[in-house]
Chain A
Amino acid sequence: AQKVTQAQTEISVVEKEDVTLDCVYETRDTTYYLFWYKQPPSGELVFLIRRNSFDEQNEISGRYSWNFQKSTSSFNFTITASQVVDSAVYFCALKTSYDKVIFGPGTSLSVIP
């Protein structure tokens, strides 16, 4: 069975702090894809990144970075020097051989000025 766990329901940080959002996934498939989405208060889900199971290279995009570790089935997301605009719900998601994406429950991040 496929599953995505985001153990952190809510996180609150002060602006400029670094914050890491955890994501643990379960699948028996050898080919799969992992995603992160951001849902700001407006509601629309914004696609942030896709990583496939054959590429364990970490990725950095500005203040965002992602750490993919197959050994621990984790795909964590770090925001460096957080800003108020980073306040949102963040979803980790998994897609395997079936054409459905399984979303985690989300982590609500509040960045306090």
Chain B
Amino acid sequence: SQTIHQWPATLVQPVGSPLSLECTVEGTSNPNLYWYRQAAGRGLQLLFYSVGIGQISSEVPQNLSASRPQDRQFILSSKKLLLSDSGFYLCAWSGLAGKTYNEQFFGPGTRLTVL
């Protein structure tokens, strides 16, 4: 079966500090990978998605970046965090688990607080 991991689970960082969030998927190959952000009490905002190693599409211009160094690894980074970067970050994958690339499966999320 497929599983998706995210770490850390929670993070408190000062403004201006760097960020690195990691997501890994097990039990599948060639997944599509996604990073979402959810501000408190609000909906999901797609930040980045990737259809393969080194292929990153950005949805929202901001001080965040993403990388996919390996097939099942997706990293979200920032050089300098802003207060507005606080939120709940969710990684998701889609692939052939259900013989379709349509539904996405989400990780447990990382709750980031920037002070």
Interface positions of A (Cβ within 8 A of B)? 33, 35, 37, 42-47, 50, 52, 91, 95, 99-101, 103-106
Contacts and interface: CB of A to CB of B under 8 A. Distances in A.
Nearest to A103: B44
Interface in B8-33: 32
Interface string B77-115: 000000000001010101000101111111111010000
Contacts, number: 49
A105 B90 CA distance: 16
Nearest to A9: B41
Contacts of B43: 91, 103-106
A35 B42 contact: no
Q: Name A's interface SS.
A: strand
Contact of B103 (A35, A91, A103, A104): A35
A44 B51 CA distance: 22
A43 B109 contact: yes
B49 interface: yes
Given A91-B44, A99-B32, A105-B42, A33 B111 contact: no
A19 B105 CA distance: 25
Contacts of A45: 44, 90, 92, 106
B46 interface: yes
A47 B95 CA distance: 14
B22 to A, nearest CB: 16
A7 B101 CA distance: 28
B49 A47 contact: no
B102 A44 contact: no
A102 B103 CA distance: 11
A44 B109 contact: yes
A106 B92 CA distance: 18
A100 B49 CA distance: 8
B105 A47 contact: yes
B88 A99 contact: no
Contacts of A47: 103-106
